[in-house]
Amino acid sequence: SEACGLQRGDRVTAILPRVPEWWLLNVACMRAGIVFIPGTSQLTAKDISYRLQASKAKCIITNDTLAPAVESVLPGSQFLKSKLIVGQGSRDGWLNLKELLAAASADHQCVKSRSQDPMLIYFTSGTTGFPKMAVHSHSSYGIGFATTGRYWMNLTPSDIMWNTSDTGWVKAAWGSLFAPWICGSCVFVHNMPQFKPEVIAKTLSRYPITAFCTAPTAFRMLVQHDVSSYKFPSLKHCVTGGEALNPEVLVKWKIQTGLDIHEGYGQSETVTICANTKGMKIKPGSLGKALPPYDVQVRGCVSLTIRYFLEMFDCFQDNPEKTAASVRGDFYLTGDRGIMDEEGYVWFVGRADDIINSAGYRIGPFEVESALIEHPAVSDVAVVSSPDPERGEVVKAFIVLAPAFKSHDPEKLIHELQQHVKKVTAPYKYPRKVEFVQDLPKTTTGKIQRNVLKNKEWGRA
Ligand SMILES: *[C@@H]1O[C@H](CO)[C@@H](O)[C@H](O)[C@H]1NC(C)=O
Ligand SMILES: *[C@@H]1O[C@H](CO)[C@@H](O)[C@H](O)[C@H]1NC(C)=O
């Protein structure tokens, strides 16, 4: 930290692929009391510039390939003091991690950080506005993952955990750092530039991975690829989260592998707050029950709220209005809509912003998508609201067709799909508009970007 001109409390941004140095730097910053800000390597120069200015980071860490993007925004980044390259490469004005490590002295004192000192900052991209900074303290993230790791991910010291997440996402901190660390488990890392189902399946069959986490969309791609011909000799526990998992995918995964998928729910601002833990009866489509020590309640217009607890994000940095808007008394408002059944299982309805209000009916996109994906013609789907002169807004489905259905008569197919939805769920939810597309806009972790489609529908793109 001295070589980089950093002191306790300073902030550092790291934009790196899944390389071992990412784990090293996380721990190094914790020990030095420096606040770590991971970012995904998909960030553009403009995104990087925004993050550097908003966070006032004094140092940026990246690799040789991504360095030019940082250099292009240097003139506007007056807070930045030092730049560090990980891996090969030497550039003017940049330090190199390997050289710093070689020169570092062996005795090092870990700072005595306080539990409320900030440790990590994540930029959380909501569906509206610029990304906001969620700050986590040493207490909130460390201990907060004890239940996540032990109960949801079912981790013990003899487990090997693989999470496919990019290091820039909060999921990497959950699945690849804190939870396995606290449980004493081994972390498996595969630096895959792209998500390919066959690579995932081969990796699971070749290595002794016991716990596997990936995004719901990734599980969907895996079951579509059909993994029944593979053997996963060590795999015992599968976990997913980050967006809702269609029940259909869960059922197919069970048929193809004999394993359940344990869905959990949390946000960048929290740790896991609801989960299907091992041994619990799984209700396909549900997020499971509140994980100790959380008190999850559904309030008002089915708004999911959690009793404010130690293991929560500390605040949206420099954004007191946003912080105030998300806290009501003892409760934190997630901004998500859900329902809870009589056994305490929580069911996701949608992001508050994604809910479609059609002629007074409130419709969550997820249930319509889940209904559509059950139909053999549908390979992928996103449901959003679309303007309508009579109803205000209506349900619109963007559908990627399965190859065998691409030559079918579109009019007939639309009618059939609408009938199918009316049959499997409450008829008012059926998509009045359907558009067939080649693919859907997705984030690098495979989350469908419904806001992109919705903005286009409403002429806001
Ligand atoms: C740097 O990271 C990017 C993004 O993951 C990757 O495409 C590139 O190959 C990496 N460069 C080096 C030199 O490792
Ligand atoms: C693992 O990574 C994926 C993204 O690749 C993410 O959606 C998922 O929720 C992660 N799992 C955990 C437990 O963090």
Residue ranges and CATH numbers for the domains of the chain are 11-113 (3.40.50.980), 143-350 (3.40.50.12780), 354-457 (3.30.300.30)
| 164 burial type by CB count under 10 A (0-12 exposed, 13-18 middle, 19+ buried) | buried
Q: Which helix (H) or strand (E) holds 380?
A: strand 378-388
Looking at the predicted structure, is the pLDDT value of residue 324 above 80?
no
Q: What is the pTM of this model?
A: 0.76
pLDDT digits (tens, 9 = 90+) for 4-41: 889 999 999 999 988 889 999 999 999 999 999 998 88
Q: How far is Cα of residue 174 from the mean position of the Cα atoms in its chain?
A: 10
Q: Is the CB of 15 under 6 A from ligand 1?
A: no
CB contact set of 285 (below 8 Å; sequence gap of 6+):
244, 245, 246, 247, 250, 347, 370
Comparing 281 with 191, the larger pLDDT belongs to 281
Mean pLDDT rounded to a whole number for the chain: 86
Residue written as tokens 């960030």?
Answer: 43
- When pLDDT is averaged across residues 218-226 and rounded to a whole number, the result is 91
Nearest listed ligand to the Cα of residue 41: 1
Rounded CA separation 18/149 (Å):
21
123 pLDDT tier (thresholds 50, 70, 90)? confident
Per-residue confidence (pLDDT) for residue 2, from 0 to 100: 74
Q: Is the CB of 241 under 6 A from ligand 2?
A: yes
pLDDT digits (tens, 9 = 90+) for 328-360: 777 778 878 888 999 999 998 877 778 888 877
* Total Cβ atoms within 10 A of residue 310: 12
417 pLDDT tier (thresholds 50, 70, 90)? very high
Ligand 2 centroid, distance to 239 Cα (angstroms):
8
Q: Is the CB of 90 under 6 A from ligand 1?
A: no
Per-residue confidence (pLDDT) for residue 148, from 0 to 100: 85
Q: Is the CB of 40 under 6 A from ligand 1?
A: no
Per-residue confidence (pLDDT) for residue 65, from 0 to 100: 93
Looking at the predicted structure, is the pLDDT value of residue 128 above 50?
no
